[in-house]
């Protein structure tokens, strides 16, 4: 793995359950891994005991002054946005230019490809295929960052492939969003905004003014459902559900994000991004007049 790259796993309160660490190693990542915790984590000692020098701690109160949380809440600072914004400085601290920042509960990386798998009688169909060469995958995505003006590129989440506007995953495509597995360049920094739903807030707010965020459809990661894994963001979502979460993104992009209800028996609110209103189109240079 190239030496100017590292993986940062953002975690809080579950030192014995940093699933992503094992997943990275199992799936072929040989580079540096850093466990990012905050200085308000009661389980910090356990993290240090288990991961030693790989643990990096950031000052949560300090980072909280550097970005807009989108609210006036002083109740807690449990959301992941603090760690997301702290990673930039930590990356400089450990001397890498490129990094991926990941949640701590990823269980698998895989390809979404066409191929013969279990059933030779059906010669061509596609599925998730477990990745074994994660080094090469990350290096490939860094090359994409080097070659394009992209702020961040991400792998698609397993659940994200099911539905969503223009989400037909039979295609090789780049979606104009990035969530949960941000591959970034310290020389092209951006700030995550909003205490909750920070990924959506960030790609709609900054995407509207020309920042490029991409999710690559051919590579996928799987994650434990938020509510199933104790610690982390679970308590925040349990407290507020998707009700408050969704409104954060509306505040940041009121012309392109709306709220809708899903469900009837237990209706809840969820955000909807209207993509044609959210981000400017990428247009070939051939359409550009010189005079």
Partner 1 sequence: MPSARPIRTTKLVSLADIQPHPENYNHGDPDAIGDSLDRHGQFRAIVVSEVTGNILAGSHTFIAAKQSGDLKMLAHLLPNLTPEEEISIMVADNRIADLAHTDDHILAGHLQTLSETESGLVGTGWDADNYDDLMSDLWPSQTFEQDDDGKYTRKVESPVYEPTGERPPIASLTDSTPTDNLRADIEAADLTDDETAFLVAAANRHTVFRYDEIANYYAHAPANIQRLMEASALVIIDFDAAIERGFVQLNETTAALFKSEYPDA
Q: Which of 166, 230, 235, 243 is close enough to bind partner 1 by CB under 8 A?
A: 166
Question: Please, which residue, 93 or 255, has the CB nearer to partner 1?
Answer: 255
Least spacing, CB of residue 251 vs partner 1, in Å: 10
Residues 204-233 as x/- pattern, contact with partner 1 by CB under 8 A: ----xxx-x-x-x-xx--------------
Q: What are φ and ψ of residue 201, in 5° steps?
A: -50, -45
168 binds partner 1 (CB under 8 A): yes
Local structure of residue 280 (DSSP, 8 states): P
Nearest-approach distance from CB 63 to partner 1, in angstroms: 27
User: Site for partner 1 (CB under 8 A): which residue of 73, 116, 230, 239?
Assistant: 116
257 is a site residue for partner 1 (CB under 8 A): no
Q: State the Cα–Cα distance between residues 101 and 180, nearest whole angstrom.
A: 7
Of all helices (H) and strands (E), which one includes residue 19? helix 19-26
- Interface residues for partner 1 in 140-159 (CB under 8 A)? 140-141, 143-144, 147-150
State yes or no: residue 25 binds partner 1 (CB under 8 A).
no
Shortest Å distance, C-beta 169 to partner 1: 5
* Secondary structure letter of residue 225 according to DSSP: -
CA pair distance 181, 80, nearest whole angstrom: 13
**Hey, how many other C-beta atoms are within 10 angstroms of the C-beta on 229?**
17
Q: Is 52 in the site for partner 1 (CB under 8 A)?
A: no
Q: How far is the CB of 183 from partner 1 (least distance, A)?
A: 12
- Among the listed ranges 47-55, 73-81, 120-128, 226-234, the one in contact with partner 1 (CB under 8 A) is 120-128
CA distances from 224 to 26, 65, 101, 107, 138 (A): 17, 31, 17, 7, 22
Q: Does position 237 bind partner 1 by CB under 8 A?
A: no
**Residue 31 gets which letter from DSSP?**
S
Q: How many CB atoms lie within 10 A of CB 245?
A: 22
If one counts every other C-beta atom within 10 angstroms of the C-beta of residue 194, the result is 24
| Range in contact with partner 1 (rule: CB under 8 A) among 30-38, 80-88, 163-171, 189-197 | 163-171
Q: Which two tokens stand for residue 138?
A: 């990350």
Q: Which listed residue (16, 75, 171, 228) binds partner 1 by CB under 8 A?
A: 171
Is residue 188 part of the contact set for partner 1 (CB under 8 A)? no
CA dihedral 104, 145, 200, 280 (to 10 degrees): -170
Q: How far is the CB of 146 from partner 1 (least distance, A)?
A: 9
- Could you tell me which stretch among 13-21, 70-78, 80-88, 252-260 binds partner 1 (CB under 8 A)? 252-260
- Asked whether the beta carbons of 16 and 46 are under 8 A apart, the reply is yes
Which stretch, 65-73, 100-108, 135-143, 194-202, contacts partner 1 (CB under 8 A)? 135-143
Taking CB under 8 A as the rule, does residue 118 contact partner 1?
no
Q: Is 48 in the site for partner 1 (CB under 8 A)?
A: no
Is residue 243 involved in binding partner 1 (CB under 8 A)?
no
Tokens of 2: 């190239």
Residue 160, helix vs strand vs coil? helix
Do residues 55 and 38 make contact, with C-beta atoms less than 8 angstroms apart?
Answer: no
């Amino acid at each position: 793995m190239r030496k100017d790259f590292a993986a940062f796993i953002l975690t809080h309160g579950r030192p014995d359950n940093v699933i992503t660490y094992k997943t990275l190693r199992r799936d072929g990542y040989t580079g540096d891994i850093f466990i990012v915790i905050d200085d308000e984590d009661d389980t910090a000692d356990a993290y240090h005991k288990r991961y030693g020098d790989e643990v990096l701690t950031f000052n949560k109160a300090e980072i909280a002054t550097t970005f807009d949380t989108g609210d006036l809440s002083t109740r807690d600072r449990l959301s992941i946005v603090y760690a997301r914004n702290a990673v930039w400085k930590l990356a400089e601290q450990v001397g890498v230019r490129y990094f991926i920042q990941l949640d701590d509960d990823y269980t698998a990386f895989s390809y979404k490809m066409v191929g013969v798998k279990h059933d030779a009688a059906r010669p061509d169909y596609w599925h998730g295929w477990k990745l074994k060469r994660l080094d090469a995958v990350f290096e490939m995505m860094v090359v994409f960052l080097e070659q394009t003006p992209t702020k961040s590129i991400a792998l698609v989440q397993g659940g994200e492939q099911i539905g969503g506007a223009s989400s037909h995953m039979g295609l090789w495509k780049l979606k104009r969003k990035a969530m949960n597995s941000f591959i970034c360049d310290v020389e092209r920094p951006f700030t995550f905004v909003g205490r909750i739903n920070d990924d959506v807030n960030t790609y709609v707010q900054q995407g509207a003014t020309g920042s490029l965020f991409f999710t690559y459809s051919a590579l996928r990661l799987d994650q434990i459902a938020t509510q199933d894994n104790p610690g982390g963001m679970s308590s925040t979502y349990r407290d507020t559900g998707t009700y408050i979460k969704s409104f954060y993104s509306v505040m940041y992009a009121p012309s392109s994000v709306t709220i809708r209800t899903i469900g009837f028996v237990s209706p809840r609110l969820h955000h909807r991004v209207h993509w044609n209103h959210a981000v400017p189109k990428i247009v070939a240079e051939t359409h550009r007049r010189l005079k």
